[in-house]
Structure 1
Amino acid sequence: MFVILKSQAQEITYGVRLGANLSSISSDDIPENLKDSRFGIVAGFLAEVPINQKWSIQPEFQYSSLGNDDESLRVDYLQLPIMLKYNFSKLFNVHVGPQVGLKIWEWEDNSTGETNFNTFNLSAVAGIGVRLTENFFADLRYGFGVSNIIDDENIPGGAKGSNRNIQLSFGYKL
């Protein structure tokens, strides 16, 4: 794999992405009146490493605001998605991969100082992309949390929940 990546190193492209998330926490432990989705932002950097003409690997580093609309259920992450990308043509692609998130902010109850969310988050991501021009592109993705994000140490009987989000972003490749 190192030889393949090294031979393709001249073709690595870099870029930036900016977009919007519509997210919610999927959980039976959250009251119905707190389940409204949150609109948030996503912004980050990417590198696309070609494997051949159809396949590439696209690691990314991004900021993403997730959670629910209620401020006590908002959480922001630094995320590292690693996408395996298949190009149907020069215009359209599909991509899938894992995504690891590190919590960098959450609303904190100042009266108790308790936090609601675990530090790390693991998700599976799938999406479709379209190349709009030589340098501009758009992606539509769905993120499905596979790890429990709720810190249940302070909740009697425990609690479970995972992130779900739809993300629309636009980007520019250098």
Structure 2
Amino acid sequence: MNKKLHCLSILLIFGILTLQAQKEASYGIRLGANLSSISSDDIPDSLEDSRFGIVAGFLAEYPITEKISIQPEFQFSSLGNDDETLRVDYLQLPVFVKYNFGSRFNIHIGPQIGLKIWEWEDNNGSEANFNTFNFSAVAGVGVNLTENFFADLRYGFGLSNVFDDEDLPISLDGNTRNIQLSFGYKL
């Protein structure tokens, strides 16, 4: 029930803000790299190396005022650790409140929900048992390189346990962390 409430809250906020911000919307695409890991005391030191992955997606920016806008995104993101048994890929929906410092720089912060679309399976078909949903908080800084091209640097901090340990003999607890550098183009 708690997960459904989180999803519903995020979608409700997104819907309300989208309805209020219908002026001068801009749209774009972004592509970048993640350096991610699962932060957990339950993972052996030998499996803690970070994973280098990709992020790719679409965005929309809805101005609220001259300096503040709402920026929902839809993206693919590969997260987890370098060890193949701890790799997981998500479709993510971050919703940012963005504050613009003039026309060049911005900061953005917001919640993000991820839907697991892939996790590693061994030769016997056993999965690593990741939860279906991953909730995170994300903060970042961005720069407009030209009128259409931009770059941003973000940090994502997982708020929910990534492991679904109901079928495991031990209890695992961990959450995602990632640094993301991306470049994009606004239409």
Q: Which moved more, 1:139-148 or 1:110-119?
A: 110-119
Contact 1:145 1:164 in 2 (8 A): yes
CA distance in 2, matches of 1:165, 1:154: 27
CA contact 1:5–1:51 (8 Å) conserved in 2: no
CA distance in 2, matches of 1:87, 1:21: 24
- The separation in 2 between residues aligned to 1:36 and 1:3, in whole angstroms, is 40
The correspondence for 1:9, drawn from 6, 11, 22, is 22
Q: Does 1:72 align with 2:85?
A: yes
- Identical columns (%): 72
CA contact (8 A) 1:34 1:68 kept: yes
Q: 1:105 to 1:128 in 2, by over 3 A?
A: same
* Preserved contact between residue 23 and residue 63 of structure 2 (Cα < 8 Å): no
Structure 1 window deviating more from structure 2 (42-51 vs 109-118): it is 109-118
CA displacement at 1:80 relative to structure 2: 0.1
**C-alpha deviation, 1:157, in angstroms:** 3.3
**Which runs of structure 2 are paired with 1:1-174 in the superposition (5 Å)?**
9-111=22-124, 113-174=126-187
State the 1:151 CA deviation.
1.3
Structure 1 position 88, deviation (Å):
1.2
Q: CA deviation at 1:143?
A: 0.1
Quote the offset at 1:10 in angstroms: 4.0
Asked whether the 8 Å contact 2:105–2:144 carries over to 1, the reply is yes
In structure 2, list runs of 5 or more residues that go unmatched. Answer: 1-12
Structure 1 length-normalised TM? 0.94
Write the distance in 2 (CA, Å) between the matches of 1:35 and 1:5: 39
Cα distance 1:68–1:7, how it changes in 2: closer, same or farther (>3 A)?
A: closer
* CA contact 1:40–1:65 (8 Å) conserved in 2: yes
Query: In the superposition, relative to structure 1, how do residues 31 and 137 fare at CA in structure 2: closer, same or farther (>3 Å)?
Result: same
The runs of 5 or more residues in structure 1 that have no matched partner are none
What value does the CA root-mean-square deviation take over the aligned residues? Answer: 1.9
| CA–CA distance in structure 2, aligned partners of residues 72 and 7 of structure 1 | 44
Distance in 1 between residues matched to 2:53 and 2:96, nearest whole Å: 21
